[in-house]
Amino acid sequence: MTVIELDDIYKTYTESVVPVHAVNGVSVGIDKGEFTAIVGPSGCGKTTLLNMIGGLDAPTKGKIRIEGEDISRLSDKQLVDFRLHNIGFVFQAYNLIPVLTVRENIRFIMELEHRDSKEMQQRVEYLLEKLDMKDKLNVRPKYLSGGQQQRVAVARALASHPKFVLADEPTANLDSHATEVLLELMATMNKEEEMTFIFSTHDQRVMDKARRIITLEDGKVVGDAKTGI
Amino acid sequence: MIVSIAWRNVWRNKVRSLVVIAAIALGLWGGIFSYAFMQGMTGQQTYSSIHTETGHLQLNSPKFLLNYDLHVNVANADEVQKEIATMPGVLGVSSSIQLTSIASTAYASAGTMVTGVDTANFRTVSELDKYLVKGDFLGRGRSNQVLIGQQLAEKLHAGIHSRLVFTLQSYSGEITYSAFKVVGIYKLHNSEFNERMVFVRKSDLQKIIGFPAGSASAINVLLDNDEATAVTEAELKNKFPELQVQSWQELSPMLQLMSGTIDQMSFIFVFIILLALAFGIVNTMLMAVMDRTRELGVLLCIGMNRAKVFRMIVLETIFLSFTGAVVGLLLSIVTVSYFGTRGIDLSLIADGINALGFSSHVYPKLDFGFYPKFAAMVIIISLFSSFFPARRATRLNPAEAVRQE
């Protein structure tokens, strides 16, 4: 079942003197539970595409439907709610909240959703167990390595059981072991909770795990293939 | 969670926050202390005026105060005095004879106001005896004793036991001369009073000028608290419709005016300090928001709505302001209570201050009514200061913000 439909999407940035056409007529459908990597050279529009799927940016032209709903018609407030309840974001630069501990960072989105305290506690413990970080529960991000911070960032994105996880170069700064742990967790969530994952990446290790690879060049889809995994 | 994040954010850049907190604390302390200082000054002046000059209320015949005519007097002063003494809340009542005169010594002359008082009753309404710097209060002994102020003593080159000759107008309209011996010299904060007012026994003055027994020029009343003045004034006006009843505010309008003006000016002064501090707070919070652009972008990305981001920045500003305010307030309470007990000695500029009627030893004080006003001002200033940084935070584009270095 197709849950994300990109219908002839264009995105042009006009802030600079010369307009930048970041995305040029992308039409793609993504099914529920996919584990998809969007690849391509720098500046090909991967991040822009992810931002538009996540409702952070609006397309200049075209429609994005998520579970049948055209998100470009949502108000700013509705988009915030939509992101909160449906999407987990993972950023290249971790972007944890520095004043919160590991536990508080992971709980954060669930707190915004006013989830039950016991449920939040169980979820945090489960994710930290999976990430082998139970001993870092009350540690603040600045005391963690880059790999550990990214694991917490992934746990935060997964904690509230989002339907979609959008990860922008999540492994760019990680070593092999950290990448392995993260991809393992995401694969588990994909399988157990049927979360749909979309990565933008240059990382071969991520591409090796992906079941579908969409290749972008100059804002256009130049390749779209199932990997057979 | 928002409250907790906001509080922790205040302490992320400790040096920056502590500088702002110190600025707020010192600014507030300066404002509050100067307010307390002014209040202490005017409070002391008011107290001194009531307890040495006018009492809370004064009764006299209408038009007496126009030219101090001896014939315009309270004929049944003794009965009036007795009746007032039985009223609730009245601490003391004293009647007096007042007339203008010229006091002379071998060296100089000066215009004075001679007040003839019944010594025992006078002490129930006046604390003048506490301000004696030389000699004693009017006593029972020999006749024609006089109590003069320090400025007059200096002007006339008079000391204890000096003889002063007063030129007086008798009740029958004739000019009489009478010699008085200085038994005491007082010094109030009010140098004009010290130079003009002299006190003698009522019985002596009565005899010299032939003033009718049982009568008085004025009757002064001291109450057990200042707030009862208006009520007692109304009662007295009702009881003695033939007399003019005036409160200390009416008798010393400048005092009331100054007290009220200084109060308002001090309040405006504190408000201006807070307003100036508000710009410092706005600047600090704007810097904090700009430093955290990416983080705020992440919050907006992951589902924190703009209202919550706005609330978080407002809370941070309020926490910052209130921490400074609490420190400033504690500092103020400590210093105001310390100097409120020990006083601040301004003897170096005593002449100028006394000429304005203020004491040169000031005891700062702060009314409790100030605190709710102060709290309201800090809340207003904090909210005002938080608005611009909070609005800036909510206007961030999350997609752009997360890309910021």
Chain B residues inside the 8 Å CB shell of A84: 302-305
Contacts of A76 in chain B (CB under 8 A): 306
Mutant choice from A74, A104, A112 vs B, greatest count of B C-beta within 10 A: A112
**Beta-carbon separation of A97 and B12 below 8 A:** no
Nearest to A202 by CA among A68, A41, A31, A91: A41
User: Whole-angstrom Cα distance, residue A23 to residue B394?
Assistant: 27
Query: A61: which strand partners?
Result: A10
Query: In the prediction, which pLDDT does B360 show?
Result: 78
Quick one: what percent of chain A has pLDDT higher than 90? 70
- Provide, as residue numbers in chain A, all residues whose Cβ is less than 8 Å from the Cβ of B295: 95, 97-98
The nearest alpha carbon in chain A to B298 belongs to A95
**Tokens 């007496």, residue?**
B64
Structure tokens at B73: 């007097």
The pLDDT tens digits along chain B (405 residues) read 889 999 999 998 899 999 989 988 998 888 888 888 888 888 888 888 898 888 999 999 998 888 888 899 999 999 999 999 999 999 999 999 999 999 999 999 999 999 999 988 999 999 999 999 999 999 887 889 999 999 999 999 999 999 999 999 999 989 999 999 999 999 988 888 999 999 999 999 999 999 998 899 999 999 998 889 999 999 999 999 999 999 998 888 777 777 778 778 877 888 888 888 889 889 989 999 999 999 999 999 988 999 999 999 999 999 998 899 889 889 988 999 999 999 898 888 877 777 777 777 889 988 777 777 777 888 888 888 899 999 999 999 888 888 776
Candidate from A57, A77, A109 with C-beta closest to B302: A109
Chain B: nearest CA to A211, how far in angstroms?
A: 26
B302 contacts in chain A (CB < 8 Å): 83-84, 88-89, 108-109, 112, 156-157
DSSP B59: E
Using an 8 Å Cβ cutoff, are B157 and B228 in contact?
A: no
Is there a contact between A109 and B399 if contact means CB atoms under 8 Å apart? Answer: no
B173 in reach of chain A (CB within 8 A): no
Sequence length of chain A is 229
Q: Comparing C-alpha atoms, which of B306, B396, B298 is closest to residue A88? A: B298
A interface test, pick of B301, B309, B315, B395 with most A CB neighbours within 10 Å: B301
CA distance A105 to chain B (A): 11
Which residues in A have their CB inside 8 Å of a CB on B? Answer: 51, 54, 56-57, 76-77, 80-81, 83-85, 88-89, 91, 93, 95, 97-100, 104, 108-109, 111-113, 156-157
Distance from CA of B3 to the nearest CA of A (A): 12
User: Which of B12, B294, B306 comes nearest A95 by C-beta?
Assistant: B294
Do A112 and B308 lie within an 8 Å CB cutoff? Answer: yes
Q: Which residues of A touch B13 (CB under 8 A)?
A: none
- Residues forming beta bridges with residue B165, ordered by sequence position: B104, B179
CA–CA distance, B361 with A78 (Å, rounded to integer): 67
8 Å CB contact of A83 and B305: no
Other CB atoms closer than 10 Å to residue B323's CB: what's the count? 19
d(CA A205, CA A175) in angstroms, rounded, equals 11
State how far the Cα of B279 lies from the Cα of A9, in Å rounded to an integer: 46
Q: Inter-chain contact A57–B308, Cβ cutoff 8 Å?
A: no
B230, B262, B198, B192: which is closest to B56 by C-alpha?
A: B230
Q: Is B40 exposed, middle or buried (0-12, 13-18, 19+ CB in 10 A)?
A: buried
Tell me if B5 and A99 make a contact (CB, 8 A cut-off).
yes
Chain B residues near residue A95 by CB distance under 8 angstroms: 294-295, 298, 402
Q: What is the DSSP letter of B339?
A: H
Other CB atoms within a 10 A radius of the CB of residue A172 amount to: 16
Q: Which residues of B touch A157 (CB under 8 A)?
A: 302
Domains defined for chain A, CATH in brackets = 2-226 (3.40.50.300)
Backbone φ and ψ of B65, nearest 5° = -70, -10
User: Chain A within 8 Å of B5 (Cβ-Cβ)?
Assistant: yes
CA separation for the pair A76, B215 (Å, rounded):
87
Q: Are A85 and A113 in contact (CB under 8 A)?
A: yes
User: Does the beta carbon of B399 lie under 8 angstroms from any beta carbon of chain A?
Assistant: yes
Task: Tell me how far apart the alpha carbons of residues B141 and B330 are, in angstroms, rounded to a whole number.
Answer: 54
Does the pLDDT of residue A23 top 80, yes or no?
A: yes
Nearest Cβ partner for B398 among A56, A93, A157: A56
Could you give the maximum distance between any two Cα atoms of chain B, in Å?
A: 101
> From the CA of B338, how many Å to the nearest CA of chain A?
40
- pLDDT for B126 equals 93
pLDDT digits (tens, 9 = 90+) for A162-211: 999 999 999 988 888 889 888 988 998 899 889 999 999 998 999 999 99
∠ CA B243-B246-B252, rounded to 5°: 145
Place of tokens 């007059």: B152
pLDDT digit string, tens, across residues B183-208: 999 998 888 899 999 999 999 999 99
**Taking CB atoms and an 8 Å limit, are B8 and A99 in contact across chains?**
yes
To test the contact with chain B by mutation, choose from A16, A74, A83, A96 the residue with the greatest count of B C-beta atoms within 10 A, namely A83
What pLDDT band is residue A65 in, cutting at 50, 70 and 90?
very high
To the nearest whole Å, the CA of B8 is away from the closest chain A CA by 6
DSSP state of B211: P
Which chain A residues are within 8 Å of B305, Cβ to Cβ? 77, 80-81, 84
CA distance A126 to A131: 9
Distance between first and last Cα of chain B: 26
Determine, for residues B302 and A57 on separate chains, whether the beta-carbon distance falls below 8 Å. no
